[in-house]
Amino acid sequence: MRQILLVAVPLVGAIVAAFWRGDRTRPWLLPVVGAAHLALSFWLLVQPPVVAREAWMGFDAVARAVLPAVSLLFFACSMYAVTYLRLRSERSNRVFVAVLLAVLGLLSAGHQARHLGVLWIATEAVTLAAVPLLHFNGTPRAFEATWKYLLVGGTGIALSLLGSFCLGYASMHGGGSGDLTFVALSAQGAALSRPWVLIAWVLLLAGYGTKMGLAPMHTWKPDAYGEAPGIVGAILAGGVTTVAFTALLRVRAVVGAAGAGAIADRTLLAIGLFSMVVAALFLLGTRNYKRMLAYSSVEHMGILSIGASLGPAGVFAALFHVWSNGLTKGALFLSSANIRRAANSASIDEVRGMAVLTPRSAMIFVAGLFAVTASPPFGPFFSELLVLRAALGTGHYVAVVIFLACLLFAFFGLSRVVFAVVDGRPRPATVASARRFVETAGAVAPPALLLGLSLWLGLFTPDVLRESWTAAAAQLFPTP
Amino acid sequence: MMIVVSFLARLAWWLLLAPLLPGIINKVKAWVAGRRGPPVLQLYYDLARLWQKQVVMSTLASPAFIVGPAVAWVAVLGATTMVPLGPAGATLSFRGDVVLMLYLLALARFATTWAAMETGSAFEGMGAAREVSYAVLAEAAMIAAMLTLAVQTGSVSLATMLAPSVGTSAVLLAAGLFTVLLVENCRVPFDDPATHLELTMIHEVMVLDHSGPPLAVILHGASLKLLLFAVLLTQSVLPMGTYSPAVAAAVLVAGVLAVTVGVGAVESLMARFAFRRVPLLLTTSVLLCVFALLVAWQGAA
Amino acid sequence: MTVGPLIVLAFAALTLGVVVGRRWPRLWLALTLTGAGAAIVASLAVLFGAVDWEWRGAFRLGGEALHLRLDGLSAIFLALVGVLGAAGAVYAREYWSDAHYPASAPRGRAWWSALLLSMMLVLTLSNGLHFLIAWESFAIAAFFLITLDRGQRAVRSAGWLYLAASHAGTLALFAFFALLAARTGSWDLGPMRDQAALQPLLWLALFGFGVKAGLFPLHVWLPSAHANAPSHVSAIMSGAAIKMGVYGIMRFSGWLPAPAAAGWVVTGLGAASALLGIAFAFAQGDLKRLLAYCSVENVGIIMVGVGGALLARADGDAAWGRLLLAGALLHVWNHGLFKGLLFLGAGSVLHATGTRQMSRLGGLWRKLPWTAGMFAIGTLAVAGLPPLNGFVSEWMVYLGLFDAVTSRGASAWAAIFAALMLGTAGALALASFVKAGATVFLGAARGKRAAEAHESGRTMVGSMLVLAALCVMLGLAPTLVWPALARGVAAWQPAWPVAPVPQSLQAIGGAQLTLAVLLVAAGLFAWRRLRGGVARRAMTWDCGYAAPTARMQYTSASFAGIVGGWFRWILRPELALRRPRGLLPLRAFRLERFPETVLDVVIAPVGGLIMQTASGARRLQHGSLQAYILYVVAGLVALGALVLTAGVR
Amino acid sequence: MRDLNLLIGLAMGLNLVALGSSRLPSIIRATALQGVLLGIMPLLLEHDIGWQVVAVAVATAIGKGVVIPGLLQRAMRAAHIEREIEPFIGFVPSLLLGAGGTIAALAVARSLPLLPEHAKSLLVPGALASMLTGFVLLIGRVKAISQVCGYLIFENGIYLFGLLLIGSTPLLVEAGVLLDLTVGIFVIGIIVDRIQRAFDSLDTRKLTVLRE
C-alpha cells in the first residue's frame, strides 16, 4: 500500500497542481508533496515492506537502497523551487509544478519496477515528462536543447525497448511462460538463450546508458543541463539518471543469472572508464559552468557503472555513490543557479568575482567543488574510496590508474572553472545584474542543506543505509 | 699539568709559526727571480705595525665589519685544534671531528665574505662571489679527500686518519690536496696575492677596506689557514705513524717546509689562470681526490 | 602530566579557535597559544617520558572507530607544529593585522587554527580513512592560507598550482591507503613490517608524500606557493607543512616493509634535491623564492638521512643507521626553526619595504637592526655552520655517511655519492645565504623603499627572537635532545637497541659551546676596541673612483653569476638584455629570470599535449544532432564488438 | 503467415520510398502508410481477437497514420518547405544503403537463433531493415521533419520486432508500450512545431548554437 502511495501521492499532487488556481500559491504544493513523499520513503526505508515475489512493482531492496535519496534531493529542490518560481513570476508555473510532481511519481514508479516492461514504460514516461521542464525558459536555445534531448534520448529509449524485447525473446527461447518480471527471468537462469541475452544486454546498456548519460551517448546532457533551470538539472542528474542506473543493475542481475555476468561487467567497466575519460577531457576545456556540471555528471555516471562492474562490494560502493553524488550535485546545481541568476550568464568569460556579489552561494559552490572532487570528509570521498578499494580488491590495477588520472584531470577542469567564477574583480555588467538578485534564505538554505547532508552522509553514514545497500547488493548477487 | 703544557706548545706552534710561511714563500719567489726580497719575518713586522694602527671603517659598514675578521680567526684557530701535529697529536679529537674542521673553515669563509660585503664596494663583492663560488668545488674535493683517508684507515677522526702509513693513493691525494690548498689560500694560479689589479683578485680584494688590527687578524688568519693545509697535506701523504716521535716531528717540519717552498715555486713558475679556466682546474682536483678514493677502496680491500 | 588530556585540550582549543577566530582576535590568540602549548607539552611528555600514548575510541567516523596515537616519531613533528604555530600566530597579529587586511585577516585566523588542528590530526590519527580526511583538510586549509591575499593574480595562480599538485599527491595516497586496506582488510594503521606483500606500496607513499614534502622533482608547486603566501604562512608551510610529507615518508617507511631499492632511491632523490634545490636557490633574485628553494635542499638532506637509514635497515647495521635517522629527525626540527625564522625575517623586510626583490634592497641593517640580527643568526644556522643547530644535524648525517663508507658494505657507494653531494650543497648554501643576507642587509640601500624602511614592532621581533633562541639552544646543547631523537628512531625501527648519548655528540656539544664562548668573546673584544674611539669613518674605498653610487654594488644576480654558469644546463635562465649602444648610451639593462625548470620543461609540455587532446575532443560536441545519433550507434557497435570479443573467450 | 509477410514486404518497400524521395510530403505519407500497416498486423497475428486488441490496433493506426502526419504536415506548411535540399547523405547513396541494408537484414536474420515458428516470417528482417532506414534518415537528413519520420520508421522497426512476442507478453504491457511510443512521437511533433515558431525554420543546421 505505502509503496503505491509513493507513486500515487505525487501523481495526484500533479493533477491538483494542474487545476490549482493562483500562481503564487501553487509552488507550495511542491514542498508539501515532497515532504509527504520524503516521509513515506524514509518510513519504508526504516520499515521495509514485504514484497510479493512475483509483484510487478514493489519497494524491494534495490528501490529501498536508492529511492530515499531521490526523495531527499527532490524535497530540497522543491523548497528551492518556491523561491525560484517567485523570481520567475513573469511566466505561469502551472505546467512546471504539475510536471515536476509527475516526474517524482514516475521516478518512484521506475525505481520500484520489478518488471521489464513496466520498467521501460516508467523510464520512457519520465523522459517524456521532463520535456516541458527543459524548455521552461522558452528561449530558442532551450528548444534546441529539448529537441536534442528528445531525439537522442528517444533513440536510447527505443534501443532499450528493443533490448527488452530481445530479453523477452531470450526467455521465450528458453521456454519461458512470458512472465517478464526480473525474478522470473533470473529464475530461468541458464535456460535463457545466451545469444539473445547478450544482444539484449548490449541494447539495454546502450539504451539506458543514454538515459544515464554514459559516453558516447551523453551528448544531450550538457545542452539540457545548460539550458534548463537549476532545479531541473539537479533532479535530472540526481533522480532521473538513477532510474536508468537501477534499471541497469536489475538487468545486470538477470544477465548474471544467465551466466554472462563476466561479459556484462567487462562492458560496464569499459563504458564507465570511457565516460570518465571523455568527461575529464571535456571538463579540461569547458568554459561554461553549467555545462561543466553536466560533464561532471557524466564522470560520476562513469564511476557508478565502474562500481556496478565490481561485484557486490562495488555495487555497495556504487549505491553509496548514488546518494553522495546526488546530494552533492544538487548543492552544486542550486548554488550555480543562484550565481547564474545573479550574473545573468553562465560563461566564465563573462562571470568573475562572484565571491563579492553572491558570497554565500559562492562559498557553497567552492565547498561543493571540493565535495564533488572527492575531497574528504564529504560523501563522494567515501563512496569513491570504496569503489577504489573494490577495484583494487578485484585486481583491476590498470582501471584504477585510469580512474585516478581522470579524477585528477576532472579536478583540474572543475577547479579552474569554479575559481574563475568565484575569484577576481566582477565586471560592471555583472555588478549591475547582481543588484536585482538577493541571496534570500530560500535561495541559499536548500543547497547548504544538501551540502550538509553530503557531509553528514560521509562522516556518519547511518547503519540503516549501509544495511539497505548491503541488502540490495545481496539481492542483485544472490548467493546460491 | 702535562696537558696544559702540550696544549700551550701546540698553540704556540700554530700561532707563532704560521706567519713564517708567507715569508718563506716570498723568499722563494724572490730567490727564483734573483732578487733579495723582503725578510722572512716580514709578516711579523707587518702584524706588529698593523696592531698599532687606527681602524678606518666604511660609513656603510656595520659592527660585523670588525667582528667578522675576529670570528674568522677564531674559527681557523678552532679548526687547527683538531689537526694532529705528528707526535704531539691533536688538542681535540673525537669521531667526526673532521666534519667540524671542514665546517669551521667554512665559518671562517662566511665571516670573511660577510665582512667584505659590508662595505658595499663592487670590488669586494666580486671577491666574495669568487671566494664562495670556488669554495663549492674545493669543498667537494676536501670531502672526497677526507673520505679517502677514512676508507684507508677505517676511522673518522683526524688524529687517527692522518697517523698510519698511506696506501697507493698517496700521489693522487697529494696532487688533489695541493690544488685545494692553493685555491683555499688564494694562491697562484687561482689568485695572485701580489698583483695590483683589483679586478683579478679574490682574497686580497675582499680585504681592501680593512685596516689596522682587523687587517692584522685577517693576515694572521690567512697564514694560519695556510699552515693548517700544509700540515694536513704533509700528514695525509707521509706515513707519520711509522716513525719514531723525533723523526716524525722532523719529517712534519720538513714536509711543511717543502709544501711552502712548493707553493713559492708554483707562484714563481706559473702565471695566474684566466678565471674561466679556474673551474676546470678545480674539477680536476675534485676528480683527483675521487680517484684517490677509488684507489684507496681497492687498496684497502 | 598525562598526554591524553593535553591532546584533547589542544584539539578543543584549536577547534574553538576556528570558531571564534573571525570575531575575537585576542581570544583567538590565547586559544591558539594554549593549543600549541598543550601540543608541545604533550609531545615533550612522550619524548622524554619514554612511553607512547595510544587511544581507541568507540566513536565511529565514516564507519571507522577513532584511533589516536602519539609515539616518538609523531611527537617530534607535533612539537615543531606547536612551536611554529604559536610563533606565526603572534607574528601575524602585527604582520597581517585587521587594520591592513580587514577582509582577509579574520579569515586568516580561522584558517590558521584549522591548519594547526588538521596537521596535529594528521600526526595523531592512526586510521587510514581518518588520516586521509585530516590530510586533505590540512591541504585545503593551507591552500586558503596561501591565497589569503586573493586579489593578486600571481597569488591565485600560485595557490592553484599548489592545490593541483597537492591533489595529485592526495590521489596517490588514496590509492596507497585503499590498497593497504584491500591487502590488510582494515583501515587501521600500525606496524606491519612482517607483511612482505606490502613492499611495493611504499612507492605510492613516496610519491604521494614526496609531492607535499617538495622532494625534487616533485617540488614544482613549492617555490611560487611559498614565495607568494603571506610570510607567516610561508614560515609554517616551509617549517611544518612540508614536514608532514616527510612525516608520511618516515612513518610508512618505518611501518611498512621497504623494497630493496627504496634506500637507494630515497638517498639518490635526497642528494639530488639537496644539490639542485640549493643551486636554484642561489640563482634566485626573489628573497622568498630563494628561501623556498632552500627548503627543497633541506628536505633533500633529511631524505638522505632517511634513505641511509633504510639502507642500514637492509644491511642490519644499527650503528650508522641510527645516527642517520637521528640526524634527519634533528634536521626536521632545525630546518623548521631556522627556516621559520628566516621567513619571518623576510616577512619583516617585506613589511618594511614592500618588495621581495633583493636587487631593490640593501643596507637595511641600520633601519631594521633586530631583523638583521635575527636573520643573520638564521643565515648561520641554515648554512650549517657551527656553533648553531644546523651544523649539529648535518654533522650527524655526515658522520652516519662516513661510518657507512668505512663499513665498506654495498651501501657505501650510496653514502659516498650522498656525502659528496651534501658537501657541495653545503658550500652552495653558504654562498646563497651570504648573498641573501649581504644584498638585503649590508651595503647601501639600492632603492627608495629600502631607504625609508622601518623596524617591525614588538610582536614580530618577539616571535623571531623565540625561534632564534631555540636555534641557539639546539646548537649549544644537542645532547639534551638526544633522548627524544632516540625515541624517534626507536619508533621507526624498534629492532635497533636504544643507544645512550654518543661520546662524539657530547664532544660536539662541548666544542660548540666553547666555540660560541670564544666567538662571543672575540667579537666583544673587537667591538670594544672599536668603541674605544679607534675607528674613523670614511667612504668605502673604490680604487680611487670619485662618486660611487649604491647601484654600483654587487647585486644578487652578479653574485650568483659564476655558479649560475655552472648550473646553466638545469637553471635555464631567461635573459632580457639590452647592451649599451652608441657613444652616449642612454639605457641598457640585463635582466635574468630563473623559472621553475621542471615546471617549464616537463609539466608544461605534457599539460599542453593534454589540453590539445581536450580541445580536439571538444570539437566532437559541435552541436549537430545527426552526429550525436551517430555517436549512439557507434557506442552500440563498440559495445557489441566488446561483447563479441568477450563472448568468444 | 503469408499475408503478414506480404504486409511486411510492403512496409519494407515503403522504407525505400522514404529513403529515395526528396519531397517531404511523400516521406510523411510513406511513414503514415507504414504506421497504418503496422496497426493492422496484430489483428493478423492474434488468434482470439478481443476488443482490446482492436482498440490497440485502431489507436496505433490513428496515432501513427493520422495524428502525427497531420502535425508534421502542418509544421511543414508553416515553414513553407517542400523538399529536402542537400542532405548529409544523398538520396542515391541512402537508397543504396537501404537496399543493401534490406539484403543484409535478410542474411543476418537467417543467422540469428530464432524459434522455428518465426524462422519463415519476415518480421525480423523487416524490423532490422526499418531500423536501419530510420537511422539513415536520422543521421542523413537535414530537415527536422524528415528526421522525425526517420525516428518513426525506426520505432516501427522495433514494433515489428515486438510482434515476435505478441503471443506471450501481456496486453497491458503492449498497450503501455504503444501508448508511450505514440505520446513520444506526439511530443516530438509538438516540439517540431515550437521550433518552427521559434526559429521560423525547420533546418536543423540552424540548431547548432549549443556546442563546446
DSSP for B160-176, please give it: HHSSS---TTHHHHHHH
> What residues of chain C lie within 8 A of the CB of D205, using their CB?
624
Supply the pLDDT for residue C490.
Answer: 93
Residue A361 CA to residue C372 CA, distance in Å, equals 46
How far off is chain A from D209, nearest CA to CA, in Å?
7
User: Which of C636, C644, C648 is the mutation pick for testing A, counting most A CBs within 10 A?
Assistant: C636
Supply the pLDDT for residue C648.
Answer: 58
Residue showing cell 629527525 = C329
Alpha-carbon dihedral sign for residues B150, B152, B157, B159: negative
Q: Pairing between strand C589-593 and C574-578?
A: antiparallel
Cell of residue A100, nine digits: 515536476
How far off is chain D from C171, nearest CA to CA, in Å?
29
Put simply, whether A477 touches D (Cβ < 8 Å) is no
Supply the pLDDT for residue A30.
Answer: 95
Nearest Cα residue in chain A from D173:
A117
Contacts of C545 (CB under 8 A, 6+ apart): none
Supply the pLDDT for residue D3.
Answer: 81
C284 touches C294 (CB < 8 A): no
Supply the pLDDT for residue C188.
Answer: 94
Residue showing cell 529501498 = A64
Cell of residue C258, nine digits: 621497504
How far off is chain D from A285, nearest CA to CA, in Å?
9
A65 touches A315 (CB < 8 A): no
* pLDDT mean across residues, chain B: 90
Kindly report, residue by residue over B201-233, the tens digit of the pLDDT.
788 888 888 988 999 999 999 999 999 999 999
Supply the pLDDT for residue B12.
Answer: 92
Task: Taking residues C502-517, report their average pLDDT.
Answer: 94
Render the burial of A145-183: b for 16+ CB within 10 Å, e for the rest: bbbbbbbbbbbbbbbbbbbbbbbbbbbbbbebeebbbbb
Interface size A-D, in CB pairs within 8 Å, comes to 111
Report pTM: 0.94
Cell of residue A295, nine digits: 560533464
8 Å CB contact of B73 and C522: yes
> What residues of chain B lie within 8 A of the CB of C384, using their CB?
103, 106
A28: DSSP letter: G
Kindly report, residue by residue over D86-123, the tens digit of the pLDDT.
888 888 999 999 999 999 999 998 888 888 888 888 89
- Give the DSSP H/E element, type plus range, for residue C55: strand C53-61
Dihedral (C-alpha) A318, A322, A325, A328: value to the nearest 10 degrees? -150
User: Which of A276, A284, A454 is the mutation pick for testing C, counting most C CBs within 10 A?
Assistant: A284
Kindly report, residue by residue over B123-133, the tens digit of the pLDDT.
889 999 999 99
Residue B229 CA to residue B233 CA, distance in Å, equals 6
In a domain, D211, yes or no: no
How far off is chain C from B267, nearest CA to CA, in Å?
24
For residues D45 and A371, the model is more confident at A371
Residues 194-233 of chain A whose Cβ lies under 8 A from any Cβ of chain C: 198, 201-203, 205-206, 209-210, 215-217, 219-220, 222
A351 touches A421 (CB < 8 A): yes
Supply the pLDDT for residue A88.
Answer: 87
User: Which residues are registered as beta bridge partners of B56?
Assistant: C536
Q: Pairing between strand C536-538 and B56-58?
A: parallel
Task: Taking residues C298-315, report their average pLDDT.
Answer: 96
Q: At what angle do helices B97-118 and C389-407 cross, to 10 degrees?
A: 140
Residue C45 CA to residue C94 CA, distance in Å, equals 32
ipTM score assigned to the predicted complex: 0.93
Spell out where B42-167 has E strands: 56-58
Contacts of A433 (CB under 8 A, 6+ apart): A342, A343, A344
8 Å CB contact of C395 and B67: no
8 Å CB contact of B128 and C522: no
Supply the pLDDT for residue B165.
Answer: 64
Residue C296 CA to residue C216 CA, distance in Å, equals 7
For residues A160 and C542, the model is more confident at A160
Task: Taking residues A7-30, report their average pLDDT.
Answer: 93
User: Which of C625, C630, C637, C649 is the mutation pick for testing A, counting most A CBs within 10 A?
Assistant: C625
A349 touches A286 (CB < 8 A): no
Judge whether residue C649 has pLDDT over 60: no
Kindly report, residue by residue over C52-61, the tens digit of the pLDDT.
999 998 888 9
Kindly report, residue by residue over B58-105, the tens digit of the pLDDT.
888 888 999 999 999 999 999 999 999 988 888 999 999 999 999 999
- Where are the domains positioned within chain B? 41-300
Interface size B-C, in CB pairs within 8 Å, comes to 250
Judge whether residue A119 has pLDDT over 70: yes
For residues D179 and C376, the model is more confident at C376
Judge whether residue C1 has pLDDT over 60: no
Closest CA to C223 of C270, C265, C279: C279
Supply the pLDDT for residue D41.
Answer: 85
Judge whether residue A453 has pLDDT over 90: yes
Dihedral (C-alpha) C539, C544, C545, C547: value to the nearest 10 degrees? 40
- Predicted confidence band at D44 (pLDDT cuts at 50, 70, 90)? confident
Supply the pLDDT for residue A256.
Answer: 94
Supply the pLDDT for residue C547.
Answer: 67
Supply the pLDDT for residue C643.
Answer: 92
8 Å CB contact of A282 and C636: no
Closest CA to A253 of A194, A209, A189: A189
Closest CA to A235 of A359, A93, A395, A75: A75
Supply the pLDDT for residue C548.
Answer: 73
- Percentage of chain A beyond pLDDT 70 is 100
Task: Taking residues C149-161, report their average pLDDT.
Answer: 92
Nearest Cα residue in chain D from A224:
D210
Residue showing cell 644556522 = C381
Put simply, whether D145 touches A (Cβ < 8 Å) is no
Supply the pLDDT for residue C647.
Answer: 65
- Where are the domains positioned within chain A? 2-476
How far off is chain C from B175, nearest CA to CA, in Å?
19
Task: Taking residues D23-39, report their average pLDDT.
Answer: 90
Cell of residue A432, nine digits: 549591475
Put simply, whether A5 touches D (Cβ < 8 Å) is no
Q: How many CA atoms lie within 13 A of B169 on its CB side?
A: 28
Residue C509 CA to residue C392 CA, distance in Å, equals 8
* Residue C207, helix vs strand vs coil: helix
Q: Pairing between strand C536-538 and C574-578?
A: unpaired
Judge whether residue B286 has pLDDT over 60: yes
- Predicted confidence band at C205 (pLDDT cuts at 50, 70, 90)? very high
Closest CA to A207 of D131, D153, D191, D105: D131
Which of D138, D211, D212 has the CB atom closest to C626's CB atom? D138
Put simply, whether A147 touches C (Cβ < 8 Å) is yes
How far off is chain A from C201, nearest CA to CA, in Å?
12
Supply the pLDDT for residue B110.
Answer: 97
Alpha-carbon dihedral sign for residues A54, A57, A58, A60: positive
Nearest Cα residue in chain B from C420:
B140
Cα angle vertex C176, ends C170, C179, to 5°?
140
* Residue A395, helix vs strand vs coil: coil
Supply the pLDDT for residue C190.
Answer: 92
Q: Do chains D and C touch (3 or more CB pairs under 8 A)?
A: yes
What is the count of structural domains for chain D?
1
Supply the pLDDT for residue C532.
Answer: 66
User: Which of D84, D86, D128, D138 is the mutation pick for testing C, counting most C CBs within 10 A?
Assistant: D138
Domain span including residue D173: 2-206
Kindly report, residue by residue over C324-366, the tens digit of the pLDDT.
999 999 999 999 999 999 999 999 999 999 999 998 899 999 9
C18 touches C53 (CB < 8 A): no
How many other C-beta atoms are found inside a 10 Å radius of the C-beta of residue A141?
Answer: 17
